[in-house]
Chain A
Amino acid sequence: MSINWFKYSSPQTFFPLAGKLALGFSVLALLACSVGLYLGFFVAPTDAQQGESYRIIFIHVPAAWMSMFLYVVMAFWAGLGLAFNTRLSGMMASAIAPTGALFTFIALWTGSFWGKPTWGTWWVWDARLTSELILLFLYFGFMALQAAIDDPRRADKAGAVLALVGVVNIPIIYFSVKWWNTLHQGASVSLTRSPSMAATMLTAMLIMTFGFWFYGIAAVLLRARCIMLERERLSDWAAEYAKGTA
């Protein structure tokens, strides 16, 4: 039996699969987040230094990790689309961007609300928060560029170049910001790393990361379905689907 590796590389075949996967991952996300939040609020103890405010970590760190992870995944799909000229890869990259930007915003918002009781100010020029801010601008740039180009194929390819340039720059940006931060603020405890984390706190945080990851997959697949319906609206399979959903 030979496997057709490219069976799902056309929107027509991927569309129903994406729907089923989105449903599955949504359920998994709900489960993981429930478990994670229960552990985080009812099992993990109070922090010695930060009191109860540290509990923001259970969404701040997962959101930050996902924001960076999604950018890399977006660049991967964009690069694939650029190299192999596949429509669906470009659609996936475009589908990821808004979810990635959302996670970045959540990381910034929760970081700010965590910083206020801890450091006294609503914004801290901490290396991670500053890098997250620049990452947000990178996401916005990608979305703005794609929005400004009418032809979807040109939009995909231009976005791909931008995403790839961005992904190469992210380590450079992160290290230069980290250096800038240590030079200007001196040694200070990072907002996101307490000296030692209780095992329960770490477990809860990791489970929440999985929860956010599954949510991200579900949201991206749902958006990819919308993009497929919009771009392929003149095709037969889309017409069949539209007729089918009453």
Chain B
Amino acid sequence: MMAALRCVIYRDLLLAVRRSSDVLTVLLFFVIVVSLFPLGVGPDPTLLRTIAPGVIWVAALLASMLALNRMFASDHADGALEQMLLGATPLGMTVGAKVLAHWLVSGLPLVLISPVLALQFDFPRELLGVLVLSLVLGTPVLSLIGAIGAALTLGLRGAGALLSLLVLPLYVPVLIIGAGAAEAAASGLPGHAQLLLLGALLIFAGAFAPWAAAVALRISVE
């Protein structure tokens, strides 16, 4: 089974590399959105420093959501998804593998570029660690929850907008806790509580979301 899962991950990564424009557009969206906020609220450094974690988190949320369509749609279109449904590997594990590959391609780049963007907001350098760690723990949760939404809206008209409506309310706790970690660190408190909570959310989502997404996939593909 591990071989099958490695295959799934490798395939998804290979496809992402071949269609790298998909990946890069999402990353660029993230960068642009973060840059829009100072243009909207003014260049006052104190204000920007305060809103930096929140802005970066919201932008990461939106960018992550943009990338969700890719998770199942192309496999559904060329019939590979049905093969996965029929295969011997438990569907939950296959979905987990796909989510991992999706995060490696869509989530991890966001995490890696976030320190640069945070510096744009003059976010204190010693607090960057907390921010990056919160994103490392939080973006996989976003991919996991997003997988459920992507599976539910597979093949529907207006799937993109519908997906946002379904998934954003579920993202709210991750946003609150994730942004809260860096904000707490900025006001002098350790962000440990939030980071631990994010870890708990990650474990919880990691345990249940692939299974829920698998159920949703079976419903959508029939």
Contact = CB atoms under 8 A, between A and B. Distances in A.
Interface in A123-170: 134, 137-138, 140-141, 144-145, 148-149, 154, 157-158, 161-162, 164-166, 168-169
A165 B212 contact: yes
Nearest to A140: B165
Given A137-B165, A168-B208, 8 more contacts: A145-B162, A148-B159, A161-B152, A161-B219, A162-B166, A172-B201, A176-B172, A177-B173
B5 interface: no
Interface in B160-199: 162, 165-166, 168-170, 172-173, 176-177, 180, 184
Given A144-B165, A172-B173, A183 B152 contact: no
Contacts of B157: 148
B216 interface: yes
Contact of A134 (B156, B159, B169, B177): B169
Nearest to B159: A148
B205 to A, nearest CB: 10
B173 A173 contact: yes
Chain A interface extent, by class: 20 to 34
Nearest to B168: A137
A16 B113 CA distance: 62
Contacts of B180: 179-180, 183
Interface in A38-65: none
Nearest to B156: A148
Interface of A: 134, 137-138, 140-141, 144-145, 148-149, 154, 157-158, 161-162, 164-166, 168-169, 172-173, 175-177, 179-180, 183
Nearest to A157: B219
B42 interface: no
A157 B162 CA distance: 17
B33 to A, nearest CB: 21
B172 A173 contact: yes
B220 interface: yes
Contacts of A180: 176, 180
Given A158-B219, A162-B152, A183-B180, A173 B212 contact: no
A79 B220 CA distance: 17
Interface string B129-170: 000000000000000000010001100111100100110111
Contacts of A161: 148, 152, 212, 215-216, 219
Interface residues of B, number: 27
A134 B166 CA distance: 11
Interface of B: 148, 152-153, 156-159, 162, 165-166, 168-170, 172-173, 176-177, 180, 184, 201, 208, 212, 215-216, 219-220, 222
Main secondary structure of the interface of A (DSSP, over half): helix
Contacts of B176: 176-177, 179-180
Contacts of B220: 154, 158
A154 B220 CA distance: 7
A162 B212 CA distance: 9
Contacts of A144: 162, 165-166
A137 B169 contact: yes
A158 to B, nearest CB: 5
A244 B83 CA distance: 51
A148 B177 CA distance: 32
A108 to B, nearest CB: 14
Contact of B170 (A154, A166, A175): A166
Contact of A154 (B159, B168, B222): B222
5 nearest A-B pairs in the assembled complex, by CB-CB distance: A176-B173, A137-B169, A141-B166, A157-B219, A176-B176
Contacts of B153: 145, 148
